[in-house]
């Protein structure tokens, strides 16, 4: 941990020296800041909200830090609830918006020999309350360690975070290897922030990534799932995917996918995965929703097909082979990411519908149109056609089937007549004519 600096080393940027305006802030965040100030406590906005406000972005969340204890915060806000066991903090509720209020965290004195490990893979440090000068060294990146002071509207900077912010540099506070070991998820955050902000990773921060990738294996699968959603629902999923692979981090999240990518032929499945992520990014740019199960289905599709093929070689019919393959792939994947059952069920439906979309006669296509996952399965089919996995004719047929009239749909689904049947019908007609 870096050596704790004294208050004299803080650089204060007055209101005229930065572009943050209260008009950009959540009204409820301002209420929290002002009420804490009125109650005689220090109150600051900190972290990502300050970073994003400086960039002119609208923050999703506003985090507040204060010298008030959690119990004192609770007394100030009746609409609050204390959470956490190791380090308590307050959630202040304003309808659907929650403002998180944390007490300044204390320093552990820079004890780098403390190697106690939490069950979630993080190095343990004593969690005690402290001052703002202590709190700053608990934060991860310099650009996330900027404090907006509601008393005079200034920004306090203890780590030269404003300089890094202006230069577009993402720099860890303290020794990068130790900070990654303290909490390996910081490696994923480094990638996410670098992509999201367009910031360049500082050299030592980047170098340590290559040396620390294995630390992720000790993180609980449930926590990694939450982080994965943040990574790939950012609107820059394709760039994130490439960056994760560059730093050897992707394999810890999706080992089966990485195995397929390492053995790919004809640039597949990388092309398929990349196209799926590119399409997701386009949807987000257009303000449309993106469901986690779709990109997860794309990541694991090649693994499902590989296992299904082996199952069929052993005598299983296609439907059973794919059902068993889906179960196998999911059971392996959840060891890395604890994907909720509702999501894995949707993934199964998308995969298994690929078989049913081959059946285009009779009433079956009409039934498929009414299924909840039909649209996702159809989009998945288009993706397969676009990347050369299947004949585009199948995707074109389903596109047309959804666009034409019901009468035309019935013509499209009419079973083809065999030559024998045509001859039989002709003979009957000839006899009638006689």
Catalytic residues: 61, 63, 140
Q: How far apart are CA 186 and CA 242, in angstroms?
A: 18
Give 105-108 contacts, CB < 8 A, sequence gap 24+. Answer: 105/129, 105/130, 105/134, 105/135, 105/138, 106/130, 106/131, 106/134, 106/135, 107/1, 107/4, 107/134, 107/137, 107/138, 108/1
Other residues' Cβ atoms within 10 Å of the Cβ of residue 85: 6
- Give 15's contacts (C-beta < 8 A, 6+ positions apart): 152, 153, 154
Count of C-beta atoms within a 10 Å radius of residue 183: 18
Alpha-carbon Rg for the chain, nearest whole angstrom, is 28
Helical H runs in 336-373? 341-356, 364-369
- Residue 129 β-bridge partners: 105
Contacts of residue 418, Cβ cutoff 8 Å, sequence gap at least 6: none
Distance separating alpha carbons of residues 57 and 49, to the nearest angstrom: 9
Beta-carbon contacts of residue 398 (< 8 Å; ≥ 6 apart): 357, 378, 381
* Alpha carbons 255 and 373: distance in angstroms, whole number: 26
Give helix 270-285 / helix 237-246 axis angle, nearest 10°. 140
């Amino acid at each position: 941990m870096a050596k704790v600096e004294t208050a004299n080393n803080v650089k204060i940027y007055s209101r005229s020296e930065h572009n943050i305006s209260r008009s950009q802030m959540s009204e409820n965040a301002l209420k929290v800041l002002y009420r804490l100030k009125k109650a005689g406590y220090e109150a600051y906005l900190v972290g990502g909200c300050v970073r994003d406000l400086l960039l002119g972005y609208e923050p999703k969340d506003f985090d507040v830090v204060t010298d008030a204890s959690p119990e004192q915060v609770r007394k100030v806000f009746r609409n609050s609830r204390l959470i956490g066991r190791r380090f308590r903090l307050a959630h202040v509720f304003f309808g659907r918006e929650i403002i998180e209020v944390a007490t300044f965290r204390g320093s552990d004195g820079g004890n780098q020999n403390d190697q106690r490990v939490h069950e979630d893979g993080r190095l343990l440090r004593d969690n005690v309350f402290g001052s703002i000068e202590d709190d700053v060294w608990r934060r991860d990146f310099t650009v996330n360690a900027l404090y907006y002071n509601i008393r005079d509207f200034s920004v306090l900077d203890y780590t030269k975070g404003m300089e890094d912010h202006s230069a577009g540099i993402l720099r860890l506070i303290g020794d990068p290897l130790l900070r990654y070991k303290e909490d390996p998820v910081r490696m994923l955050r480094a990638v996410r922030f670098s992509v999201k902000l367009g910031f360049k990773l500082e050299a030592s921060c980047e170098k340590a990534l290559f040396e620390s990738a294995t630390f992720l294996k000790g993180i609980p699968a449930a926590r990694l799932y939450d982080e994965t959603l943040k990574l790939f629902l950012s609107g820059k999923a394709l760039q994130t995917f490439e960056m994760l692979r560059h730093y050897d981090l992707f394999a810890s999240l999706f080992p089966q996918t990485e195995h397929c990518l390492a053995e790919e032929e004809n640039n597949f499945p990388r092309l398929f995965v990349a196209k799926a992520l590119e399409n997701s990014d386009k949807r987000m740019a257009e303000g449309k929703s993106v469901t986690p199960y779709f990109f997860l289905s794309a990541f694991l599709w090649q693994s499902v097909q590989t296992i299904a093929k082996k199952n069929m070689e052993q005598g299983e019919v296609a439907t059973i082979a794919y059902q068993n393959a889906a179960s196998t792939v999911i059971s392996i994947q959840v060891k890395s990411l604890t994907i909720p059952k509702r999501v894995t069920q949707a993934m199964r439906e998308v995969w298994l519908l690929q078989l049913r979309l081959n059946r285009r006669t009779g009433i079956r296509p009409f039934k498929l149109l009414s299924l909840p996952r039909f649209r996702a399965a159809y989009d998945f089919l288009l993706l397969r056609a676009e990347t050369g996995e299947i004949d585009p004719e199948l995707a074109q047929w389903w596109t047309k089937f959804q666009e034409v009239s019901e009468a035309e749909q019935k013509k499209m689904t009419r079973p083809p007549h065999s030559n024998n049947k045509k001859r039989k019908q002709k003979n009957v007609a000839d006899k009638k004519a006689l």
